[in-house]
A and B are shown apart, each in its own frame.
Chain A
Amino acid sequence: MEHATQEQGRTRWGRLRGGSSTPAMAIAIPAGLVLAVLVGVIAAAMWDAPTPPVVVGIGFTVVTLPALVGLVWAFLVDRNTLRGAIDRPEESVEGAWYDKAAQGAFSDILLIVGLGTAFLAITGIRIDVLIALIGVLLVAMGGFSVRYLVARRRG
């Protein structure tokens, strides 16, 4: 009964932290849009390729918009105002799955980066820093996702 009372007034996207009644998305969307436009402007100014700067700017704005809106929302939202949010996520099994997956992904990164560095040092092959960072990011995200899904499947 207490839980049902708590659920009343909660919304899908929640409200701002600090007891505000303002929907979090009312701030997250315009703030995310401003940040995405900023990224687009910077990308257009610095892009060194035949593509017209306007196209580059619009492209970066569109691609980064959802992520930046989500990021701002995550910083601003009071999770206690989210519909269906549990009171103690840190004690739920999903938290244990997350910790286990993050621990495994960290081991994956150490192994892959260690072996990769040794390989490049021995062979003398040089790769672009951006490519290397994207590789590390993909290993981290892939390792985490697979391990989390396996943990969830095992229950």
Chain B
Amino acid sequence: MRNTLPALRQDRGWSQQRLADELGVSRQTIISIERGRFDPSLPLAFRIARLFETSIETVFEPDDAG
């Protein structure tokens, strides 16, 4: 799943560790999500979207999206 998390995070000037702390997950989780290696759970995806005051669709996009 592609995502815009790196751009959203960098817009705020946050490090991966800072974002991980905000979300209550490990830094490795943020690294894996940003690389597209790990699809977050729905609750975590909602928290990410809420944290950046946007919608899930803005942050995440399925690989097969047309």
Contacts and interface: CB of A to CB of B under 8 A. Distances in A.
**Does chain A bind chain B?**
yes
Contacts of A89: 26
Chain A CB within 10 A, most for which of B25, B33, B43, B44: B25
Interface size class of B (residues with CB under 8 A): 10 to 19
21 contacts: A86-B20, A86-B24, A86-B25, A87-B24, A88-B23, A88-B44, A91-B24, A91-B29, A91-B43, A91-B44, A92-B26, A92-B28, A92-B29, A93-B29, A93-B32, A93-B37, A93-B38, A155-B31, A155-B32, A155-B35, A155-B37
Q: Which applies to chain A's interface (DSSP): helix, strand, loop or mixed? A: helix
B29 A94 contact: yes
Nearest to B38: A93
Nearest to A84: B26
A12 interface: no
Contacts of B29: 91-94
B26 A86 contact: yes
Interface in A94-111: 94, 96
B21 interface: yes
Given A88-B23, A92-B26, A94-B26, 13 more contacts: A88-B24, A88-B25, A88-B44, A91-B25, A91-B43, A91-B44, A92-B25, A93-B25, A94-B28, A94-B29, A155-B28, A155-B32, A155-B38
Nearest to B41: A91
